[in-house]
Amino acid sequence: MEDETLSGSTYRKAIGSLTAAAAIALTVSAIGQELEPLDGNQLFIETCGGCHGAGGEGGYGPPVTANDYVDNATKLVLRIIKGGEVMPTFRHLSDEEIAIVANFVRTQLNENVDLIDAAFVAAQRDF
């Protein structure tokens, strides 16, 4: 199924390169000090893995592999921003962090190839 939210050329720049997801990194500077770039796997384990399993296999929360949410980037980002009935909101994460964790879920735990970026996340925030 064609995902129309990803039809723009902006989100197609890294198609075909799953390794590009691993290359996505956010360098955080704090008081002139370079910190480790944010890693999608690490971010997932820290923010999602406690409920969804370190490998997304499910636990307290449902698996985040092969479901409708991870096929649809908009739904996934909205789920992360707004939370669910039980799942807490992650709106405090930066646009970059949400993009990195969403890309990890979509490309590493699932088979999507389209990458989203911080601007895509920012466009989903309605507050």
Task: Count Cβ atoms below 10 Å from residue 58 Cβ, excluding itself.
Answer: 13
Q: Does 101 bind ligand HEC (CB under 6 A)?
A: yes
Q: What is the dihedral of CA 41, 46, 51, 57, to 10 degrees?
A: 20
Considering only 5-13, 18-26, 34-42, 86-94, which stretch makes contact with ligand HEC by CB under 6 A? Answer: 86-94
Q: What distance in Å separates the CA atoms of residue 23 and residue 74, rounded to the nearest whole number?
A: 22
Restricted to residues 104-123, the positions that interact with ligand HEC (CB under 6 A) are 105
Among 14, 48, 73, 100, binds ligand HEC (CB under 6 A): 48
Q: Does 90 bind ligand HEC (CB under 6 A)?
A: yes
How many Å separate Cα 125 from the centre of its chain? 14
Compare residues 55 and 62 and give the one whose CB is closer to ligand HEC.
62
Q: Does 64 bind ligand HEC (CB under 6 A)?
A: yes
- Residue pair 11/120 in contact (Cβ under 8 Å)? The answer is yes
What residue type is 73 in one-letter code? A
Q: Does 22 bind ligand HEC (CB under 6 A)?
A: no
Picking from 110, 17, 120, 16, the residue whose alpha carbon sits closest to that of residue 68 is 110
Chain residues binding ligand HEC by CB under 6 A are 47-48, 50-52, 60-62, 64, 67, 69-70, 76, 79-80, 84-88, 90, 101, 105
